[in-house]
Structure 1
Amino acid sequence: MPTTRTQGRWAGDFRFRHAQTGEAVDVNYTQFVVTDPATGAPRALATVTRDIRARKRIEAEVRALNTALEERVAERTAELQQANAELARSNTELERFAFVASHDLQEPLRSIASFSELLDRRYGERLEDQGRQYLGYVTRGAQRMKVLIDDLLVFSRLNAVHEPFAAVDMAGVLGEVQARLHAAIEDSGAQLVVGPLPTVMGAPEELTRLFQNLLGNALKFRREGVPPVVAVGAQDEGERWHFTVTDNGIGIEPQYHERVFGLFQRLHVRDRYEGTGLGLAIVRKVAERHGGAVWLESRAGEGTTIHLTLAKVPPVTPL
C-alpha cells in the first residue's frame, strides 16, 4: 500500500485479513511521534487507524462504472465509424448514379426534341389547333427536361469531380458570365454595375457557374415594368473576400430565406418563372466546397442581396 511521510508523521492505506472472520479489511493509518511539551524530546509513537472499507467499495464501483462507460463509448464510436463509412459509400453510389443517369438521359431527350422539331416543321400546318398545342407541350417539356438534366449534371459533378483550385481573377469570371447571359441582359434591359473585383483561390468553371446562377436569378426574378439593376461588389475581410450581388427584383419573404438554398425549391409557378429549383443549391454547394458561405438579405417587393465569402489567394512563401 502507498505510504506518505512527512517530518515526524507517516500515513497510508493497507489491507489485512480478519483473524476470526477471514474478511479483508481496508484501513487507513496515521502514525506520529508524541513529544514532551517541555523539552521536545520524543516520548511515544502514536497510531490512529480508520476503517475505509466503505470508501474502497465506492472507489471500486466508480472504477467499474468508468470501465463500462469507456467500453460503451468505444462500442458507440465503432458503430458511428461504421455508419459514417456506409453513409459515405451510399453517397458516393448515389452521386455516381445521378451523374450516369443524367448523362444517359441526354440521348433520348435529344431524340424527343429533334423529332418534335421535325413534326412541327413537316406536319405543323396539317395539325389542328389542339394538335399544335399538344406538340408545343412536348417541345417545352423537352426543353425544361434538358435544363433540369444539365443542372443535375452540374450538381453531381460538384461531388464526383473536383476541379483543382488556382488563382482566379473574378473580374474575368464576371466578364464570362456577362457573355453567357448577353441575350437575357439585352432582353430585360438590365443594368449591371460591377465594382473592382479581387483574385480568389478556387475552381474557375465552378465560380463562373456560381455567379451565372446568381446573376441569372437577378435577371429572371425582376419586377414587372422595372428594368433590372444588378450590382456586384467585394470587400476585404482579412482572410476572405466578401462578395455581394444586389438586385432590385421581386425579393423573397423572410420565411423562405433559408429554404431557397435547398434542392428543387421553387417559390413561384413555372408558368411565370422558369427554373429547376437547383440554382441556389448549386451556389451553396460551390461556396461550401471553396470553404466559404452564402446567405441572403431580402424584402419582398424591394430586392435581394446575396452574400458570399471566398478565400483569398495565399501569400507566396519565399524559398
Structure 2
Amino acid sequence: MKQSAIHILAVLFLTLSANTHADLAFETFFSKHSMPMMIIAVEDGQILRANPAARAFYGFSEVAGMNINQINMLTPDQVEQEMHRAATLERNHLFFRHRLADGQVRVMGVYSEPFEYRGQDTLISAVYDTSDFDPAAERHYIARVEEQVDLQTEQLQQAKTLQFWLAVAGALTQTVIIAVLIVVILRLRRAYRKNDELLGELSFRNGELERLGDVMAHHFQEPSRRLVSLSQQLVRWDAAPDRLQDQAVVVGFIQEQARRLSELVSDVQRYLGLDRARPVMTVLDTGSVLEQAYEQTNTLADMRQQARLETPAPLPAVYFDHRRLVLIFRILLHNAWVYRHADRPLVVRITAGSRHDRIELRIADNGSGIAPEYRLQALELFTRLVPTASEGTGMGLALVAKALRPVGGHIRIEDGMDGGTAIIFDLPAAR
C-alpha cells in the first residue's frame, strides 16, 4: 500500500510539475518534499538541482553539479538510452542500482518525466529505496538487471570481438612489418657483404698488379739483359774462326734464356687469363680428372715412368671448373717431380677428407720438402726457392691459389712423407 501511495504521489507531482508555471508552488513542493528529487539535463546527464531529501539520502555534500553517471551503476551508454526512453515518454518508471557516498549500493525506483527547466530539456526524477517495499519491486528490478546484463554482455562480446580482430589485424600488420624489415636487413647484409667482397677483391687485385709489375720488371729484365749481352758477344766473335766452340756455347745460353723468357710470358698469360675466363661450375669425378691430368701431360712423361702415384681411397666428387682442376693437378704433380729427392724414388700420395660442405684434397710427396719459414713465400708470384733449378718460373703455386679464388678455396703447405711436401687445398663438395 505504501508503494502505491508513493507511486500516486510521484505521478501527481510529476504531472503537476510538467504542466504548471507556478514557480513558487513548484519551489515549495520540490524543496520541502521528503522524497529525494533531482532535475537532470537530458543532453549530458548533469544534475542541475537536487532537493535536501536527495542530499540527505545519497550522503554527498552537494548532489547538484554531479553527473548521474557518478551515481547510477549502469554504463554511460545505458544511462543515456534510459534517459532517452524517459524523455520520449517511452518508459517513466525505472529501477537502477545507485551508489551512495559511503559506498553502499541501493536498488532504487525512479519516476521520471520530461520537464523544461529554464529553457533546457530536463528530466525531473523522484527516487525511492525499493528495500522499503515488498519483494515485487526486487523481482521487477532483477528482470531489468537481467535485461541490462544481456545488453552489457552483448556489448562486451562485441567489444571483445572487435578487440580480437583489432589484435589479429595488429599482429598481421606487425608480422608484415617484421617480414619487410627482415627482407630489408637481409638485402642490406648481402649488399654489405658483396661490397666487402668487392673491396677485398679490389685490394687483392691492386696488390697483385703491384707485385706482378715489380717482379716482372726483374724477372723479364734478367733474361733480356743476358740475351743482349750474349748477342753482343757473338758479334765480337763473328770474325774469329778459332772461337767457334765458344760461339756454340753462347748460342746454347741464348736458346736457354729465350726459352725461359718464353715460359715466363706463357705463365703470366695463363695467370692473367684466369681473370678473363669465368669458371664453368659442374660436378666433377675428382679421380677421373686426376687421371686425365697425369696421363695426358707431356711434361709428366718421365714421372709416369720413374715415380709412383698413389690414391689409397676413391676421391670424392667436387663442384668446380674442369679446366682449373686439371691445371691444379698438372702444376702440383709437376712441382713434385721437379723438386723430388735425389736419393730415393718419388712417391706422390693423394688423399681427401670432408669438412662441412667442402672437400679438402692433400697431395703429399717424399721429395726435398719446403722449410716452414719459406712456405708462405712459396705461394707468391715468381718464387723459386731453388734458384739453380733449370725448370720452373716460380709461378706454379701462385697459379693454383689464383685458380681457387672464385670458389673461396684456400691452399697451404705442410710436411709430407719422409720430410717431403704436402699441398692442401679445398673445393666445394658436389651438390
**How would you bin the TM-score normalised by the shorter chain?**
0.5 to 0.7
**Is 1:263 matched up with 2:390?**
no
1:191-202 alignment runs, 5 A limit: 191-194=308-311, 195-202=313-320
Q: What residue in structure 1 maps to residue 351 of structure 2?
A: 233
Superposed displacement of residue 84, structure 1: 5.5
Q: How does 1:274-313 map onto structure 2 within 5 Å?
A: 274-298=391-415, 302-313=419-430
Question: Where does residue 162 of structure 1 map in the other structure?
Answer: 278
Equivalent residue number for residue 247 of structure 1: 365
Aligned-residue offset at 1:264: 0.9
Higher relative contact order (CA 8 A, sep 6+): 1
Return the offset for 1:299: 7.1
Question: Secondary structure in 2 aligned to 1:128?
Answer: helix
Matched residues in 1 for 2:279 and 2:376: separation? 27
For residues 182 and 222 of structure 1, what CA distance do their matches in structure 2 show? Answer: 13
Distance in structure 1 (CA, Å) of the matches to 2:419 and 2:383: 21
Identity of aligned residues (%): 29
Match of 1:214 in 2: 332
Q: Is the 8 A contact 1:250 1:302 kept in 2?
A: yes
- For residue 308 of structure 1, report the CA deviation from its aligned partner: 1.1
> CA 1:163/1:300 → structure 2, altered by over 3 Å: closer, same or farther?
closer
CA distance in 2, matches of 1:203, 1:222: 29
Give the superposition deviation at 1:169: 1.6
Can you list the C-alpha shifts for 1:153-199, whole angstroms capped at 9, x where unaligned?
11101122213211122112111211204413146x11111241122
Structure 2 runs not aligned, ≥5 long: 1-194, 232-240
Which of 233, 251, 256 aligns to 1:140? It is 256
* C-alpha distance after superposition, 1:64-121 (max 9, x if no partner): xxxxxxxxxxxxxxxx99x959x58x85xx69x99xx9xxx9xxx9xx9xxx9xxxxx
Q: 1:299 to 1:232 in 2, by over 3 A?
A: closer
Contact 1:206 1:286 in 2 (8 A): yes
Identify the structure with the greater strand proportion: 1
Does the 8 A contact of 2:365 with 2:416 survive in 1? no
> Over alpha carbons, which structure has the higher Rg?
2
TM-score (norm 2): 0.43
Map Cα deviations across residues 10-34 of structure 1 (whole Å, 9 max, x no partner): xxxxxxxxxxxxxxxxxxxxxxxxx
Distance 2:417 2:309 in 1: 21
**Displacement after TM superposition at 1:242 (Å):** 1.1
Q: Normalising by structure 1, what TM-score?
A: 0.58
Distance 1:244 1:199 in 2: 14
Higher helix share: 2
- Shift of residue 300, structure 1, vs aligned partner: 11
Change (3 A) 1:264 1:182: closer
Matched residue SS, 1:167:
strand
**Counterparts of 2:371 and 2:259, CA distance in 1:** 29
- Conserved? CA contact 2:351–2:362, under 8 Å: yes
Query: Aligned residues, how many?
Result: 212
RMSD: 3.7
Distance 2:389 2:284 in 1: 36
Q: 1:137, 1:128 → 2: CA distance?
A: 14
Partner of 1:47: none
Deviation per residue, 1:115-142 (Å, 9 max, x gap): x9xxxxxxxxx87111011110111112
Residues 112-127 of structure 1 aligned to structure 2 (within 5 Å)? none
Paired letter, 1:264 = F
Q: Which amino acid aligns with 2:274?
A: L
For 1:11-50, what aligned pairs fall within 5 Å after superposition? none
Q: Indicate if the aligned counterparts of 1:253 and 1:299 stay in contact, CA closer than 8 A.
A: no
Q: Give the SS at the match of 2:284.
A: strand
Check the 8 A contact 1:252/1:300 in 2, yes or no.
Answer: no
Moved over 6 A (4+): none
Helix, strand or coil at the partner of 2:336: helix
> Match of 2:309, SS?
strand
1:317 alignment counterpart: none
- Partner of 1:31 in structure 2? none
SS at match of 1:225: coil
SS for the counterpart of 1:130 is helix
